[in-house]
Amino acid sequence: MEEREKREPQEGGQEQAFYDWRKKFDEGVKRDLKDYFQERDYVVMAVPKEEPLRVWAVRATNTARTAQRIHNLSPMAAAVVGRAIVGAILLSSLIKHGTDQKVGLKIEGDGPIGYVYVEVDGKGRVRCLVKNPDVPLFTKEVGGRTKLDIAKAIGNGTLTVIKDLGMGKPYVGVVPLVSGEIAEDIAYYLAQSEQIPSAVGIGVKLDENGQIKVSGGWMVQEMGGTSEKALKVIEEAVKKLPPVSDLLEQGKRPEDIALMIIPEELNPHLLGLKEIEYYCPCDEEMVKGVVAGLPQEEVDEIFKENEYLEVKCHFCGKIYRYTKEEVEKIKEEAQKEEENKQPSEGKEEQKNSEGENDKKDQEGKSKG
């Protein structure tokens, strides 16, 4: 593909990529996207060339499937979590691409699922938590079709967005759930807390075995100053858009959905792409830090009845096991490291103090 900028692939998991072409969205580009991403998950960002308006379209089927497997989600819980994953990916529009900035989406209600938390970083890496992974199936009739009742599984509650921009204290925004269907709730949050008028569509479909079949969504954002003509064209396109789960099931890709929202008359251009995957950064060193911080009384109590101390990551399900001897060694090493820090800190303070005294002496000599 020509005229493209490839940013560095990310460490861990499969290669991540973010491309910025800023070129005409034509059949050649669509072909290249299909060849490159094949069946992997990704986001397409598109804009009309002359209008301050942007469209995101995402396929997150594999990511949602991974979440269902890791958390052993019932079909109903998988549908809720799948929608929350897509919603969080769309909300990552609020952070800088290709960075370690993170956005967290927490949906909490009085329904049987309790809460769902999804975290996405600027590199497209996703991980999630769910309070109750075993939720019974709820359905409802809508327009003659039987659909999953996402709102009943969630209940009444709140939607919280946490933006960690790496600048100290994260920004936290909270709004009440207005529908419990997630897409409408995210649009409400964007309008109320970010002052960005948005339309959002999210869909998840299960197969006959209750496994994730497709998962994806789209988002349109008006950035201010869009012409009435363009707004009318986009509104009409959105009204005609079939459910996103139907489109994905038919084999439509994110670029196809983006071009259904931005028709040819608005001269659609590709702004960027981002690959999406389920990825948890937990590792041995991180867990050892947790073990080192455990109170000795708690450690002793664990080994009274167990041969191993187990630490389980709630995001990816990975289990780390340590014998009593290994825990003692971890704690000893942590203590030595702490002791080594203290003298060096004292020396640094002494050095700074001596530097201040030398500076004062020099100032005194200068005045003399």
Comparing CA positions, the residue from 315, 256, 223 lying closest to residue 34 is 256
CATH 1.25.60.10 fits 18-278, yes or no: no
Predicted local distance difference test score (pLDDT) of residue 24: 75
Comparing CA positions, the residue from 102, 231, 86 lying closest to residue 166 is 102
- How far apart, in Å, do the first and last CA atoms of the chain sit? 72
Structure-block tokens of residue 184: 């409408």
**Sequence spans of domains, the chain:** 18-278, 284-353
pLDDT in tens, 307-342: 999 999 999 999 999 999 999 999 999 888 888 876
* φ and ψ of 134, to 5 deg: -115, 85
* Strands 18-19 and 268-278, bridge-based pairing: antiparallel
DSSP H helices, 113-252, are 150-154, 183-193, 228-240, 244-249
DSSP tally for the chain: helices H, then strands E: 11, 16
pLDDT, averaged in runs of 10, over the chain (368 residues): 36 41 73 87 93 95 98 98 98 92 97 98 96 96 89 98 93 96 97 95 96 98 91 95 96 95 92 93 92 93 93 93 94 87 56 51 44
Predicted local distance difference test score (pLDDT) of residue 337: 85
Integer Cα distance of 127 and 120 in angstroms = 7
Predicted local distance difference test score (pLDDT) of residue 360: 46
Burial string for 34-69 (b: 16+ CB within 10 Å, else e) reads eeebeebbbbbbbbbeebebbbbbbbbbbbbbbbbe
Q: At what angle do helices 296-305 and 324-367 cross, to 10 degrees?
A: 170
Tell me the CATH number of domain 284-353, given options 3.90.1280.10, 3.30.420.40, 3.40.50.300, 3.40.50.80: 3.90.1280.10
Contacts 24+ apart (CB under 8 A), 208-214: 210/74, 210/75, 210/78, 211/65, 211/68, 211/75, 211/78, 212/61, 212/64, 212/65, 212/68, 212/78, 212/82, 213/61, 213/249, 214/59, 214/61, 214/245, 214/248, 214/249
Predicted local distance difference test score (pLDDT) of residue 139: 93
Identical fold between 18-278 and 284-353:
no
Handedness of CA 83, 88, 93, 96 (dihedral sign): negative
Structure-block tokens of residue 144: 């003659």
Integer Cα distance of 133 and 230 in angstroms = 43
Predicted local distance difference test score (pLDDT) of residue 28: 80
Structure-block tokens of residue 112: 């049987």
Which strand (E) or helix (H) includes residue 335?
A: helix 324-367
